[in-house]
């Protein structure tokens, strides 16, 4: 059975995955959408008693492989792949 189209996929890496104890999760969002700027609180409520709030405070978002400069401008409708991009350390 395919996922309903109002499901979003959230990817966690590095400190974010250590904080929540997983690398991804999927869940439905409201039919009329969810603001990206509200996603943080929603994820924190799904992972109470973790360090996720602290990790998110220094992290950026990506949506469908694009880094987001201004989360206030993004409305999620369902089907998106969102990632928590905590401070990077490659190279």
Partner 1 sequence: MALTSPASVDAFLESPQAICALTHDRIDVQAVIASVQDDAAGATATFIGTTRNSFKGKIVTRLEYQAYSKIAIKTMADIANTAIESASCSQHQPSTVSGKVPSVIRCAIHHRLGTVPVGEPSIVIAVSSPHRKEAFVACEEILEEVKRKAQIWKREYYEGEDENEAEWKENA
Interface with partner 1, residue 86, by CB under 8 A: yes
Q: Is 27 helix (H, G, I), strand (E, B) or coil?
A: strand
Give yes or no for residue 23 binding partner 1 (CB under 8 A).
yes
Which of 2, 32, 57, 91: binder of partner 1 (CB under 8 A)? 91
| Stretch touching partner 1 by CB under 8 A, among 22-30, 31-39, 40-48, 70-78 | 22-30
Environment class of 65 (CB within 10 Å of its CB; exposed 0-12, middle 13-18, buried 19+): exposed
The sign of the dihedral angle between the CA atoms of 83, 85, 89, 91 is: positive
Q: Binding residues for partner 1, per CB under 8 A?
A: 11-15, 17-18, 21-24, 58, 62, 65, 67, 83, 85-91
């Amino acid at each position: 059975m395919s996922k309903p189209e109002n499901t979003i996929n959230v990817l966690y890496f590095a400190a974010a995955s250590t904080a929540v104890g997983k690398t991804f999760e999927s869940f439905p969002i409201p039919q009329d959408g969810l603001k990206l700027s509200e996603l943080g609180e929603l994820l924190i409520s799904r992972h109470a008693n973790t360090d996720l709030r602290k990790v998110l405070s220094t992290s950026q978002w990506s949506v469908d492989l694009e880094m987001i400069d201004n989360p206030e401008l993004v409305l999620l409708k369902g089907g998106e792949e969102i990632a928590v991009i905590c401070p990077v350390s490659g190279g």
